[in-house]
């Protein structure tokens, strides 16, 4: 009786207290939903405000479905209405409710316990809200939720342990608790829910091992447990579930080897041990070791294979070439070796090939790639040979081409019209010749990194036609000439955020037309409107060097901006209005022949973090407006001809001697030279010390931008959404695999149709 009393409620509109087994009238139901409406503080579309009124029958209200015989509310669907508020306890008194869907709103607070005491509920969909609290320890106990088939609470703020009593929800088919803050172990009792078809526990803080009992779920179709703190090996029993279509247990601390008999003959039953239905296997970002079992070649329906970022070694099994349905093959960041020829020869459906950061060698069988290929990342391997012209024809399907850090030589290919490439990264090879002007055919190009090669050319002014270009890295090549060409384009390369042309032989004046007009480096808002605030549709990595320390930036936001013109032969003065680039974070003009004063307008670069003007021929005093740069953490003005007192306010109080050495006219802290009022500012031209390219000091404040491309992976626009997911919760997880909502909606629609007939 005590539990029944807990479900009694007081309603201002004269609703009587009812026990769990009592029947409630249409007026009672109307009053309960009116209470729910009163707990909603924001109804932006007036969905309930204008519709849930006492002037009409409750069964005609939006989102409310009643059975035809007794006019009892059986379904409540107020999903995706933008509602803000809390869920009242009284909702648990809708005793005939079969389906509750309040997903896709902004409900907050705890989930009322009364919901978990409802005996007829088959579907609970509260995902995509801001609900908090923990789940009842005795959920599904004492006869409640005995008909529950769908429990979808993902993407909330729930915490605590997952109740072990879930196994008493004997009809449960879909368990979706991902994107919360659950802790503790995965309950082994889940293995008792024999009807489970989908388990979604990813993106929590679960630890411990994967229960072996999950291998008992012989109807399981999808298993998602990644992005937790799971340890140990994968129980062999899981590989015996023949119904499994997707296994995703990435980004954890799992270890061990893959079973040699994986996907061929299991340890329990040879017939059950064949994963004939498997279409996706994602074990990336763990600590698996040993060879990749050739038995993977038996997965005839496999579309997606992610084994990247583990410790796999040995050669890539040639049997992977049997997977002629595979579209995504990620083996990067392991210790694999061998050749690719036998592997990709039969992969006619292949769209994404990522084998970066291995020890794979030989020539690339370019002629084996089909027009389906969308992304190729072979970076950080031992590949060699020329890049053939036929690669330019693949550009009509390719979006991403990353060949960084190999031994490729020869010239770049010609890119055909209709080129769809968005990212080209060939940094760190032995390429020569000129930069092909056919790159103008790649109108979607966002990243072009051909740094650290032997390309000999003048500055590619024609790149100004690439209006989507965001990263341009020409570092350490043999470019020469001036950057003074006139143009009718008033906004050159309007989206450029990263410009690195350092360590070349450019001469003449600094390119003022660029330094004054890069719109993507002006007035950039921290809450930029671009999708997810990512600067690209895929994840890039830039490595830059400060004081000899390489610092990788894996997530490049729209707010990341930098210019490096160091180690060239630029002369003349720094443009006075360079301060218009007020969203610039890194500026390096060191090791040139720049003269004149330091522009006071640099003080307008309010978020500047690193400024390197060292090893030039600058004169005059350090402008006081530079003391306004409160984010400035690295400053190098050494080896110039500056004079006068060093400013003592702001960040200048934090810099040591190394920021100012080689300027005989400077005085004041932190230098030992005291300032005298009658001192005359010296104007001697300093003798620049000899340094090589590996100098740790003079190049210390410079940064080397290298677009790595792979990092932990990349994401490719609308084709797959976010393609890799080390630092953010991936949208592909929901969009590609995670079709819970489709299942829920489909189940609801089928049940509704049956009831109405």
DSSP E strands in 530-583: the ranges are 542-546, 549-553, 562-564, 569-573
Do strands 99-101 and 562-564 pair parallel, antiparallel, or not at all (unpaired)? unpaired
pLDDT at 322: 87
Task: Could you please state the CATH topology (level 3) that the domain comprising 458-524+561-704 is classified under.
Answer: 3.80.10
- 3-state helix/strand/coil string of 253-271: EEEECCCCCCCCCCCCCCC
**Structure token digits, residue 331:** 């083996």
**Structure token digits, residue 371:** 């027009």
Instruction: Scan for tokens 């006071």, then name that residue.
Output: 600
Cβ neighbors of 328 (< 8 A, separation 6 or more) are 303, 304, 305, 306, 351, 352, 720
DSSP annotation of 341: H
What phi, psi does 514 have (nearest 5°)? -80, -50
Regions in the chain scoring below 50 on pLDDT:
1-22, 265-273, 527-538, 546-548, 678-740, 743-744, 747-748, 751-757
pLDDT at 488: 65
- The superfamily CATH assigns to domain 1-178 is Ribonuclease Inhibitor (3.80.10.10)
pLDDT at 26: 66
C-alpha to C-alpha distance for 423 and 428, rounded to whole angstroms:
16
29: exposed, middle or buried (Cβ count in 10 Å: 0-12, 13-18, 19+)? buried
pLDDT at 713: 33
Q: With 0.75 as the threshold, say if the pTM is over it.
A: yes
pLDDT at 196: 96
C-alpha to C-alpha distance for 348 and 209, rounded to whole angstroms:
38
pLDDT for 243-274, tens place per residue?
999 999 999 999 998 876 665 544 434 443 46
573: exposed, middle or buried (Cβ count in 10 Å: 0-12, 13-18, 19+)? middle
Please work out, in degrees rounded to the nearest 5, the angle formed at the alpha carbon of residue 445 by the alpha carbons of 491 and 392. 135
C-alpha to C-alpha distance for 701 and 696, rounded to whole angstroms:
9
Cβ neighbors of 656 (< 8 A, separation 6 or more) are 670
Domains 1-178 and 458-524+561-704 share a fold: yes
Domain residue extents for the chain: 1-178, 458-524+561-704
Q: Could you give the residue ranges of the DSSP H alpha helices within 588-737?
A: 717-720, 731-732
**Structure token digits, residue 668:** 């004041």
């Amino acid at each position: 009786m005590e539990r029944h009393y807990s479900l009694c409620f007081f309603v201002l509109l004269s609703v009587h207290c009812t026990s769990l087994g009592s029947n409630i009238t249409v007026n009672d139901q109307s009053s309960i939903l009116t209470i729910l409406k009163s707990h909603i503080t924001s109804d932006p579309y007036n969905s309930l405000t204008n519709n849930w009124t006492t002037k009409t029958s409750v069964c005609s209200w939006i989102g409310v479905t009643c059975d035809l015989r007794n006019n009892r509310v059986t379904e409540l669907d107020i999903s995706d209405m933008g509602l803000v508020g809390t869920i009242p306890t009284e909702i648990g008194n809708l005793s005939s409710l079969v389906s509750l869907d309040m997903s896709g709103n902004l409900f907050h607070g705890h989930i009322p316990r009364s919901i978990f005491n409802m005996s007829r509920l088959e579907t609970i969909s509260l995902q995509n809200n801001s609900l908090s609290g923990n789940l009842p320890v005795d959920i599904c106990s004492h006869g409640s939720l005995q008909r529950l088939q769908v429990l979808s609470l993902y993407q909330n703020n729930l915490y605590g342990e997952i109740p072990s009593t879930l196994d008493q929800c004997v009809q449960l088919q879909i368990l979706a608790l991902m994107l919360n803050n659950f802790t503790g172990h995965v309950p082994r009792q889940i293995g008792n829910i024999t009807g489970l078809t989908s388990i979604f526990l990813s993106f929590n803080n679960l630890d411990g091992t994967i229960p072996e009992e999950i291998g008992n779920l012989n109807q399981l179709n999808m298993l998602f447990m990644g992005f937790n703190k799971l340890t140990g090996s994968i129980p062999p029993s899981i590989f015996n579930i023949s119904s499994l279509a997707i296994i995703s247990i990435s980004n954890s601390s799992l270890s061990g080897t893959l079973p040699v008999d994986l996907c061929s003959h299991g340890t329990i039953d040879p017939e059950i041990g064949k994963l004939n239905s498997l279409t996706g296997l994602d074990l990336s970002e763990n600590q698996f070791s040993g060879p990749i079992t050739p038995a993977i070649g038996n997965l005839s329906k496999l579309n997606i294979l992610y084994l990247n970022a583990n410790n796999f070694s040995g050669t890539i099994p040639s049997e992977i070439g049997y997977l002629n349905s595979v579209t995504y093959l990620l083996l990067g960041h392991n210790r694999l070796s061998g050749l690719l020829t036998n592997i990709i020869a039969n992969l006619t459906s292949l769209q994404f090939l990522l084998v970066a950061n291995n020890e794979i060698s030989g020539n690339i069988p370019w002629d084996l790639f089909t027009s389906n290929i969308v992304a190729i990342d072979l970076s950080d391997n031992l590949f060699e040979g020329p890049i053939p012209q036929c690669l330019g024809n693949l550009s009509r399907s390719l979006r991403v081409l990353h060949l960084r850090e190999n031994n490729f030589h020869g010239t770049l290919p010609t890119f055909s019209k209709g080129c769809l490439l968005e990212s080209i990264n060939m940094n760190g090879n032995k390429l020569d010749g000129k930069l092909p002007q056919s790159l103008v055919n790649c109108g979607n190009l966002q990243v072009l990194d051909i740094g650290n090669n032997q390309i000999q050319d003048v500055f590619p002014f024609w790149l100004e036609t690439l209006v989507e270009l965001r990263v341009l890295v020409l570092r350490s090549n043999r470019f020469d000439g001036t950057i003074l060409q006139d143009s009718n384009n008033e906004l050159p390369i309007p989206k450029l955020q990263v410009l690195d042309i350092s360590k070349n032989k450019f001469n003449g004046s600094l390119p003022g037309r660029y330094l004054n007009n890069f719109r993507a480096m002006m007035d950039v808002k921290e809450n930029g409107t671009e999708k997810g605030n990512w600067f690209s549709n895929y994840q890039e990595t830039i490595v830059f060097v400060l004081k000899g320390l390489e610092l990788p930036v894996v997530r490049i936001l729209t707010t990341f901006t930098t210019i490096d013109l160091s180690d060239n032969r630029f002369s003349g003065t720094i443009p006075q209005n360079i301060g218009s680039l007020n969203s610039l974070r890194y500026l390096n003009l060191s090791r040139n022949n720049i003269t004149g004063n330091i522009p006071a307008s640099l003080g307008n670069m309010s978020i500047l973090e690193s400024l390197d003007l060292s090893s030039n021929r600058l004169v005059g005093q350090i402008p006081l407006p530079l003391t306004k740069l409160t984010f400035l953490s690295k400053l190098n003005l050494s080896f110039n001809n500056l004079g006068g007192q060093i400013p003592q306010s702001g960040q200048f109080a934090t810099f040591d001697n190394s920021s100012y050495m080689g300027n005989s006219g400077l005085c004041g802290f932190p230098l030992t030279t005291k300032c005298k009022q009658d001192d005359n500012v010296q104007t001697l031209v300093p003798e620049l010390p000899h340094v090589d390219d590996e100098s740790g000091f003079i190049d210390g404040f410079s940064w080397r931008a290298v677009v790595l491309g792979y990092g932990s992976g990349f994401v490719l626009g609308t084709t797959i959404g976010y393609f890799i997911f080390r630092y953010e919760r991936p949208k592909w997880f929901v969009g590609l695999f995670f079709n819970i909502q489709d299942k829920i909606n489909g189940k609801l629609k089928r049940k509704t149709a049956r009831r109405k007939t």
